[in-house]
């Protein structure tokens, strides 16, 4: 089925840890809206937002920002548009592929500050072993371990109950990662 509009371009890019999608249309007639859909496998898509169409016009530019892309357990994300008309008919756009390699090696601590434990989320571009260590303000190592990282998102929990309140420094090195982060224990 074809809708009464021409999709001239549909593209996306990674900007400031979010996906920025842009598209241009021509000759819109009776167009209702664009449902933005996302997938991590390229087959199963979920709606993540909607952009109203200008309806009846000759040339339009649209955009949509996906700021949840960092929370996905994938290194590749796929997007498509479900172009809807006012009668409920629709057609799909081409698929845009975004590679998240630009944000691999990223480490997130949640919660931080933390009272009892913090979850460490690491996006790795490689499989391999990494060493983590937690040091106090005087540089003394108070906890450490070696973890196996797989390509993509990895999670582990650090139990903080044995530590007194204060500022600590988490260092993670190995499997293409070498990062330091501050962690506050309440």
Low-confidence ranges of the chain (pLDDT < 70): 1-4, 16, 73, 101-105
80 contacts 37 by C-beta, under 8 angstroms: yes
pLDDT score at 108: 82
Cite the residue boundaries of each domain of the chain with CATH code 2.60.40.3080.
104-185
* Spatial CA neighbour of 181 closest among 172, 165, 170: 170
Looking at residue 44, its pLDDT comes to: 95
Beta bridge partners of 99: 76
The CATH number of the domain covering residues in 6-101: 2.60.40.10
The confidence score (pLDDT) of residue 182 equals 92
Q: Which of 169, 165, 167, 170 is nearest to 186 (CA)?
A: 165
CATH 2.10.10.90 fits 104-185, yes or no: no
Closest CA to 130 of 116, 151, 160: 151
């Amino acid at each position: 089925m074809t809708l009464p509009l021409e999709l001239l371009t549909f593209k996306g890019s990674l900007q400031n840890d979010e996906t920025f999608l842009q598209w241009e249309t021509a000759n819109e007639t009776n167009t209702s809206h664009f449902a933005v859909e996302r997938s991590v496998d390229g087959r199963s898509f979920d709606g993540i937002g909607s952009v109203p169409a200008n309806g009846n016009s000759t040339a339009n530019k649209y955009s949509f920002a996906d700021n949840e892309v960092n929370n996905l357990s994938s290194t590749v994300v796929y997007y498509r548009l479900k172009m809807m008309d006012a009668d409920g008919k629709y057609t799909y756009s081409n698929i845009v592929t975004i590679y998240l390699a630009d944000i691999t090696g990223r480490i997130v601590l949640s919660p931080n500050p933390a009272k009892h434990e913090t979850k460490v989320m690491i996006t790795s571009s490689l499989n391999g072993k990494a060493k983590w260590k937690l040091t106090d303000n005087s540089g003394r190592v108070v906890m450490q371990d070696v973890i196996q990282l797989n390509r993509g998102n990895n999670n582990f929990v650090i139990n903080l109950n044995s530590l007194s309140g204060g500022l600590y420094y988490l260092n993670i090195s190995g499997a293409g990662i070498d990062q330091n982060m501050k962690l506050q224990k309440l």
